[in-house]
Amino acid sequence: MIQPSLLFLAFSTSIALGYNKSLITPQNSGQRPTVTSEALTTTIHGKNLVKHAEELLSFATRNGAGNRVFGTRSHNETVDYIKKQLDATGYYDTQLQTYSELYLEGTANLTVNGLAYDAEWMTYSPAGHIVGPLVSVNDLGCKQNDYPTNMTDKIALISRGACPFSLKVALAGKSGAAAAIIYNNETEVLQGGISQDALPEGPAVPACGISAESGQKLLADINARKTFNGALNITVINEKRYTSNVLATTKTGDQTNVVMVGGHTDSVNAGPGINDNASGSIAVLEIALQLARFEVKHAIRFGFWTAEENGLLGSIHYLSSLSADEGNNIALYLNADMLASPNFGYFIYDGDSSVFNVTGPAGSDRIERVLEDYYKSSGIKTAPTSLGGGSDHLSFMGFGIPVGGVFSGTDENKTQEEFTWWGGVAGAPYDACYHKACDNIQNLNVGAWVNNTKAMAHAVSTFAMSLDGVPRRVETKSDTVRRMLDGDSGSYWRNASRIVMY
């Protein structure tokens, strides 16, 4: 979970890097045609998107790790590639916003009576090597009396459900347990986390998650044997790493009414992150490269965010570094995250809160309508998706900035009704490789990617020329801080991390 104190700790360092090679050479300002939706959307081609994706995948594979986690060489190469492309246009004032972030990575290895089980480290749980008997916990482990009286140096086996993992782990620690294993109530291995802060109920102990099947097997074995020994080894990397956002602002256009467009550049540790989120950051990059052909009325700023997968850290850092006036100059924000899911849906953020009970800042409804109009004119059925989903638009929501964007789905299953709209496979995930090693080039639906990128380009071209329906934002820094700590948007911002806590 994101800590509100991060708002007050942000700092930035700007580094400018120059490149001579020209990819797209814009005409002088007076010679460029004014941008229109038709002109910009017709420049979007799948072959260009795929070419960028192949480059980003190569960064992940040639460095051995197979991912583009922030602070790694692979992610740094991603950032450098994006900035080099933007610099070559000569159309933007570009900036690297370089700073340090806390990097956490953990692994869990679990064996019981010599048999290995798939396990995932509970984010923020401490490291440790624990060997001892497994003991099952009564009920769901949410009350102290659920824990047997003699738990000293034992490993608690606890079911998921009813209360946060943090409480289960703290109560296990208070009972004397040396470690905790939480088994899922769903088929997959449980991936979750506990609070970064100590709980009054008890100390945090090393903890991991396992699948429902593994949990039930262990529970049955415990009930059948008097002695049942386990070994849990958790290793944790906890270090500061330098990382960068990339920012590119048009040199022309009204700098007091800035249209922002962004997507995150990092991946999870498990894979290269080509749908999540090379597809989004590449869409933003390609729109930026093609926009260099045109003139705009309102300045456009493209943001490529680091460390989204660790809790929207890059976009929060950027916004926290702005003065009140700089924040007020941002008219709206368009987010691109996961645009090419193989079993795709066409989802638009529910800016008018007509379906989901999450209200965006005033003007978010206008963004939704602009995107809906594009898909409708293209003969594509769309569906709303909640603004509460964990991506960088939440950071902008917390600062009172109108938000919107498109999305093609994660690991949730496509419904039968959605199958009639979009084809694909009903009952299967939109992206079965979400947060996995198989999120590579073969995991992309290029047709959906092109359509979603064109929709984003339509929104960029529309707002580049007119902000009708988007009210001017006037807010002080103290207003923003109060919203982040207490307001409705702040509650979503504070829970924006993708770490599952229950």
The answer to whether the CB of 263 falls within 8 A of the CB of 283 is yes
Structure letter (DSSP) for residue 379: T
- Residue that the structure tokens 């708002």 belong to: 7
Tokens of 424: 């694909």
- Does the bond joining 277 to the residue before it have cis omega, within 30 degrees of 0? yes
The answer to whether the CB of 79 falls within 8 A of the CB of 291 is no
- Distances in Å between the Cα of 236 and the Cα atoms of 104, 195, 216, 228, 310 are 7, 15, 27, 26, 15
The answer to whether the CB of 156 falls within 8 A of the CB of 150 is no
The C-alpha atoms of residue 144 and residue 165 are separated, in whole angstroms, by 14
465-474 in b/e burial notation, b at 16+ Cβ within 10 A?
Answer: bebeebeebe
Tokens of 273: 């992150």
Identify the CA nearest to 170 among candidates 137, 215, 131, 212.
137
The C-alpha atoms of residue 248 and residue 301 are separated, in whole angstroms, by 5
The answer to whether the CB of 499 falls within 8 A of the CB of 193 is yes
Tokens of 333: 């924000």
Amino acid, res. 488: D
- Distances in Å between the Cα of 39 and the Cα atoms of 115, 322, 369 are 61, 33, 20
Tokens of 490: 């702040």
The CA angle 120-121-124, to the nearest 5 degrees, is 150
Q: Give 415's contacts (C-beta < 8 A, 6+ positions apart).
A: 426
Pairing status of strand 330-336 against strand 403-407 = parallel
Options 101, 308, 368, 418, the catalytic residue: 308
Number of Cα atoms under 13 Å in the Cβ half of residue 477: 10
The C-alpha atoms of residue 316 and residue 8 are separated, in whole angstroms, by 11
Q: Which residues pair with 111 in a beta bridge?
A: 116, 231
- For the question of residue 120 being annotated catalytic, the response is no
How far is Cα of residue 59 from the mean position of the Cα atoms in its chain? 20
Residues with a catalytic annotation lie at 308
